[in-house]
Chains A and B, each alone.
Chain A
Amino acid sequence: DIVMTQAPLSVSVTPGESASISCRSSKSLLHSNGITYVYWYLQKPGKSPQLLIYRMSNLASGVPDRFSGSGSETDFTLKISRVEAEDVGIYYCGQLLENPYTFGAGTKLELK
């Protein structure tokens, strides 16, 4: 199975500042079709996860452009610029390249 490793496990950010979350996969997530199958989700307190970024760098519908995704074949970054109160929650990276789909352990974002 592909292992997804996130860092840090928690981050505390002052509103208005930026935050970055890293995710590393144990295997390349680059498919032969040129698409990198890494996704980012945010689970707000008491809610279901919501998609933020799909295929490494594509912003999901309705997601503020303060969120961005980047990376290589195995190393990925979610960046949140100008953090707001509504960004609090747990962020998960996930790979949808092959079964079983797997997720990182999550990064908890809190406000200072």
Chain B
Amino acid sequence: EVQLVESGGGLVKPGSSLKLSCVASGFTFSSYGMHWIRQAPKKGLEWIALIYYDSSNKYYADSVKGRFTISRDNSKNTLYLEMNSLRSEDTAMYYCAKGSLGYWGQGVMVTVSS
């Protein structure tokens, strides 16, 4: 059974940094591209980052480009999202998702507020 478990969220002040993790199981993690998608409270879905299976390519939404970094450690079956210079508009539930968004984690909440 595919499982994706995010962690690392919390309440931080504007300008702060945070690093999210997503531990994968139930599939060959090193064979799939992985994504981060977020959802602001009461809002729709916003794709924010993709990393290829071998980390050879990374893509970002303009809203996070230059501030967020996606990475992975295939030896640990873990996906990461390093978030810097956080803003109030980054407040959202953050989901990791596998491949063609066929499986999603339960999400982790990030709140940016002073």
**A residues with CB within 8 A of B:** 39, 41, 48-51, 54, 60, 92, 94, 96, 99-106
Are B101 and A94 interface neighbours, CB within 8 A? yes
Are B44 and A48 interface neighbours, CB within 8 A? no
Are B104 and A102 interface neighbours, CB within 8 A? no
Tell which of A39, A51, A92 touches B44, judged by Cβ atoms closer than 8 Å.
A92
Are B105 and A48 interface neighbours, CB within 8 A? yes
Tell which of A51, A99, A106 touches B50, judged by Cβ atoms closer than 8 Å.
A99
**B102 interface residue per 8 A CB criterion:** yes
Are A106 and B44 interface neighbours, CB within 8 A? yes
Q: Which residues of A contact B44 (CB under 8 A)?
A: 92, 103-106
Decide: A48 near B47, CB < 8 A? Known: A39-B100, A54-B102, A60-B102: no
Chain B 63-114 interface residues, beta-carbon cutoff 8 Å to A: 95, 100-107
